[in-house]
Each structure stands twice: as C-alpha cells, then as structure tokens.
Amino acid sequence: MNALAATSRNFRQAARLLGLDSKIEKSLLIPLREIKVECTIPKDDGTLATFVGFRVQHDNARGPMKGGIRYHPEVDPNEVNALAQLMTWKTAVAAVPYGGAKGGIGCSPGELSRSELERLTRVFTQKIHDLIGINTDVPAPDMGTNAQTMAWMLDEYSKFHGHSPAVVTGKPIDLGGSLGRDAATGRGAMYATENLLAEYGESIPGSTFVIQGLGNVGSWAAKLIHQKGGKVIAVGDVTGALRNKSGIDIPALMKHRDEGGSLKDFHGAEVIDVAELLVHECDVLVPCALGGVLNRENAADVKARIIIEGANHPTDTEADEILDKKGVIVLPDIYANSGGVIVSYFEWVQNIQGFMWDEEKVNMELQRYMKSAFQHIKAMCKSQNCNLRMGAFSLGVNRVARATLLRGWEA
C-alpha cells in the first residue's frame, strides 16, 4: 500500500471511530489544491536541466497551510499528497493554528552545486509565489532542504511581495529564523520519548536507542538523547551503519562527520550491515530518514519494544499491523516529529510580532506543547480504546472536522 493509501486508510479509520458524516469525510480527504510545476535551470556547465516541483495544499480549516519542502529523487505526487495530509493532522494534534501542506522537487540535491540548488529554488518559488503567503501557505525545510533553501525562497518571494520573513520558517537566524528551530524536530522527538517512557516508569537514562538517519532530525535526536544519558548503541544513514553495544560517543561521531569523515571510518564503533540497523536489539528504535522503511520484509524481526517515528510515515500499513500484534508500541509521526512544526509556529509568531524569543523560552514552550499533545492523545486512546496512532489520528481529525463544521459551507 502506498503512502497516500496508507494515510487515507488511517484517516478513514479515525473518521469511523469518531462517527464522522461521510460528506465531511470526503471533504477532509480531498486536498484543497495540488500544484505541479516545471522547473528548468541552466546547469553550471551551460546545459539545461528540467525538474518537476510539487506543492500540495491539503486543508486550511484551522489556519494557513504549513509543511516542508523536500528535495529527493523519489519525490512523487502521491507521496507529497500523503505528507500534506499528515501535516493537516499533525498541526491539529500539536494544537498550532495551521492546516497542512507539503512540497518537493524530484532531484538529487547531493549532485547539484550550490548555485544550481539556488537557481532551482528560485525558479520553483517564482512558479508558486502567488499560491503561498504568510496567511495562506508557509513552507519550511524537510529532507534535502535546510535554512539556506528557506533563505533563497524568502528572497525570491520578497521580490514579488516585499520583505516577508514570515512566509517561510526554518530560516537562518540572521533573516528572522527562530533560535531552537534547527534542533526542534529532534528535541521534540526527545520530549515525546520522555513522555512515553514515563508512562511505563522508564526514562531516557537506562534505555538503549537505535537511530536511523543522521540528518537534521536524526543527528539532533541522537545528540539530545545522548546528552540526557540515553545509550545510543547503533546509528546509520544512506552510507552505512555502526554499532557499539556500550554506547556510541555521539559528540565524537558528530565531530568526525563535521570534519568530513564518513560513518564507516569512525573508530568508536563497528560497521554493521544497514539492513541490520532496524532489527537491532534495543529498547527504542528511532527512524529519522525515509518513509516506508519498516515494512512486511522486516517488521516481524524488529526487536525494539518502542518505535518513535522521527521520520514521516516510516512504518507502512502492513508493518503497523505486524508490530501491533507483536505488542511493539509505536509513537506516531504526527506526534513524535511535531516539534519541527511547533517551533516553526513560534518562528512565524515571532516574525509577526517583530520580537525575538530566547532559546530557553522556545524550548520550554516546545516541551509544554509536546506534553499537552501527549495528554490529549492518551485521553483519546482511552475514550476510543485504540492504539497511539489511532488516538493521534482521531484527535487531529476531530479538531479539523470541528473547525470545518464551524466554518460552514454557505456560498
């Protein structure tokens, strides 16, 4: 089942639990707008290259649509659609006043030079500038994009609409970005882990972790879990995987990578097969890379007791069922990785207020939002007698449905 079918299935299941009218169900499922644009740029060698860019604006009942822009060779309309829908439920679970959107360009960012990436981002922004905006749709970084990408988007958008820092979040601090946004998704995942472990009388110190993906989300999750006293025993990215049963020295690994070293030549751990990573013995598995990495091929072999979905849609439907039957607790993406969009909301608020918060305030508010969302998910699980994924979906869908009904449909 592809990402869109899986997300829509979860939505329908939640709609049934909530007893939603089928007409509202249909209106919530179908995206408000799907944009597909051709982006042609001159490459550094003078040849032309054409890419396809997407922005799916799923729902705006609760506020401006919000979601990242992904640069990855596997970006396709179906997946962007699923990710946009997930954003609608995620912002509702987080109780931030946004709807959901997602965008992406099918490209390999690692194979493009900095100036090619800049041209591509500017052309994409030119094509969609009329359809995004501070009160309509506010992009942010996702896989393969970062604060620099947002700086180019902001600059290009501002040529058409005047200086508009709040049109994107995840910007560099010098352009109105928020302190704490870079770490926010990983930090939010760490708070989510603390909240879940506390339910079982457990905590990060004393637990073992395996983390897949060492990009923005994975590296911050690893750093913060290590800092809190958690033992990160295995990590991996697209280049390979490493294990040290006594715990990897994460700051030393990050230093090694920042100095240009690859995972495989880090001396503080042994190299393992990448396929072994997700089925490695541990208390908590934290996938922070691509979607669909937990599937029918490997779900039965997962040895973790708990999965924290740092990535979007890392667990496909078949894996979800297998893991549920095995008693593995899955903390779903629409809660576990919501720290990014929560601090994006703080960034947008700061831009609109023209007032900058200190990092302590950002982190404290993030912790408060993560705690509150967890309490609401738990209450929903109790009232609907369902697992955490369905509890989170039901909470999000219910909030969006209520906002939709309150707005009404009169022309």
Tell me how far CA of residue 223 lies from CA of 101, 186, 209, 235, 254, in angstroms: 29, 9, 12, 12, 8
User: What share of residues in the chain are helix, strand, coil (percent, to 5)?
Assistant: 50, 20, 30
Q: Is the dihedral of CA 194, 10, 67, 49 positive or negative?
A: positive
Distance between CA atoms of residues 301 and 304, nearest Å? 9
Q: Tell me which residue has its CB nearest to ligand AKG.
A: 68
Cβ atoms < 10 Å from Cβ of 112 = 19
CA nearest neighbour of 128 among 30, 38, 233:
38
Q: For residue 310, state whether it binds ligand NDP (rule: CB under 6 A).
A: yes
Q: For residue 176, state whether it binds ligand NDP (rule: CB under 6 A).
A: no
Considering only residues 115 to 174 of the shown chain, the ones binding ligand NDP according to CB under 6 A are 141-144
Q: For residue 341, state whether it binds ligand AKG (rule: CB under 6 A).
A: yes
The correct pick among 107, 242, 288, 381 for binding ligand NDP (CB under 6 A) is 288
- Min. distance of Cβ 335 from ligand AKG in angstroms? 11
Residue 315's identity, in one-letter code, is T
**Looking at 187-328, which runs of residues are DSSP E strands?**
208-212, 231-237, 240-243, 270-272, 284-287, 306-308
Q: Tell me which residue has its CB nearest to ligand NDP.
A: 215
Given the residues 23, 26, 102, 326, the one annotated as active site: 102
Q: For residue 169, state whether it binds ligand AKG (rule: CB under 6 A).
A: yes
Q: For residue 332, state whether it binds ligand AKG (rule: CB under 6 A).
A: no
Q: For residue 337, state whether it binds ligand AKG (rule: CB under 6 A).
A: yes
Q: Please confirm, yes or no, whether 102 is among the known catalytic residues.
A: yes
- Asked if 98 and 68 touch (Cβ cutoff 8 Å), the reply is no
**Closer Cβ to ligand NDP, 167 or 211, answer by number:** 211
Residues whose CB falls within 8 Å of the CB of residue 199, separated by 6 or more in sequence, listed in order:
378
Q: Does residue 216 have a known ligand-binding role? A: yes
Q: For residue 180, state whether it binds ligand NDP (rule: CB under 6 A).
A: no
**Closer Cβ to ligand AKG, 312 or 398, answer by number:** 312
Q: For residue 58, state whether it binds ligand AKG (rule: CB under 6 A).
A: no
Distance between CA atoms of residues 218 and 183, nearest Å? 10
Considering only residues 75 to 104 of the shown chain, the ones binding ligand AKG according to CB under 6 A are 90
**Site stretch for ligand NDP (CB under 6 A), options 51-59, 122-130, 193-201, 237-245:** 237-245
Considering only residues 354 to 383 of the shown chain, the ones binding ligand AKG according to CB under 6 A are none
Tally of CA atoms within 13 A in the half-sphere of 324 that contains its CB: 13
Question: Strand, coil or helix: what is 179?
Answer: coil
Residues whose CB falls within 8 Å of the CB of residue 111, separated by 6 or more in sequence, listed in order:
none
The correct pick among 67, 99, 340, 391 for binding ligand NDP (CB under 6 A) is 340
**Closer Cβ to ligand AKG, 151 or 234, answer by number:** 151
Q: For residue 212, state whether it binds ligand NDP (rule: CB under 6 A).
A: yes
Q: Is the dihedral of CA 60, 373, 24, 310 positive or negative?
A: positive
Tally of CA atoms within 13 A in the half-sphere of 281 that contains its CB: 4
Q: For residue 67, state whether it binds ligand AKG (rule: CB under 6 A).
A: yes
Q: Does residue 185 have a known ligand-binding role? A: yes
Q: Does residue 363 have a known ligand-binding role? A: no
The correct pick among 212, 344, 351, 398 for binding ligand AKG (CB under 6 A) is 344
Task: Write out the binding residues for NAD(+).
Answer: 185, 216
Residues belonging to the active site: 102
Where along the sequence are the contacts to ligand NDP (CB under 6 A)?
68, 141-144, 185, 212-218, 236-239, 288-290, 310-312, 337, 340
